[in-house]
């Protein structure tokens, strides 16, 4: 049963990190987008949380993607008087997304994902070795 718990916990981590990477990808994709019309707000960076859930069947804690919230920090402002989204003073508001921060978060999520894949692989090898021993 411990092998099943291990696989289930690692799988929950895979799902959570995959969801995290989707949110980060959306942030990166919208990093330089502008509002459709003057005075409208541009894309707001999304931030995700993780939630720990107790799985009664497994009798173990698993992780899942929690609430996705928007970042309330200020938008970036650039002076571009010819831009269609410019306000009366010629300023254009850009999303509050820092691509460097997002790429760092993406790399961290990717490494966490890979760690969970490695746990599943190691568990599968242990199960196979156990079966090989039982066959002998």
Q: Which position has the token pair 């009798």?
A: 59
Which candidate, 59, 45, 20, places its Cα nearest to that of 97?
45
- DSSP annotation of 74 reads P
Assess whether pLDDT exceeds 60 at residue 1: no
pLDDT at 9 over 90: yes
Residue 109, pLDDT score:
97
Domain boundaries, the chain: 2-135
Spatial CA neighbour of 43 closest among 67, 70, 64? 70
Q: What is the pLDDT of residues 54-83, one digit of tens each?
A: 999 888 999 999 999 999 999 999 999 988
User: Global pTM?
Assistant: 0.87
Query: What pLDDT sits at residue 45?
Result: 97
Cα dihedral 16, 19, 24, 27 sign: negative
């Amino acid at each position: 049963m411990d092998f099943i718990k291990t696989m289930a916990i690692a799988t929950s981590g895979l799902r959570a990190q995959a969801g995290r990477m989707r949110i980060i990808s959306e942030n990166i994709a919208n990093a330089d987008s502008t509002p459709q019309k003057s005075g409208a707000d541009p894309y707001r960076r999304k931030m995700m949380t993780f939630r720990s859930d107790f799985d009664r069947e497994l009798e173990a804690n698993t992780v899942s993607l929690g609430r996705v919230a928007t970042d309330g920090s200020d938008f970036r402002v650039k002076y571009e008087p010819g831009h269609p989204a410019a306000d009366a003073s010629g300023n254009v508001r850009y999303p509050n997304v820092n691509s460097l921060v997002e790429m760092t978060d993406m790399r961290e999520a990717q490494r966490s994902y890979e760690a969970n894949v490695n746990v599943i692989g190691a568990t599968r090898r242990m199960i196979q070795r156990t079966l090989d021993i039982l066959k002998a």
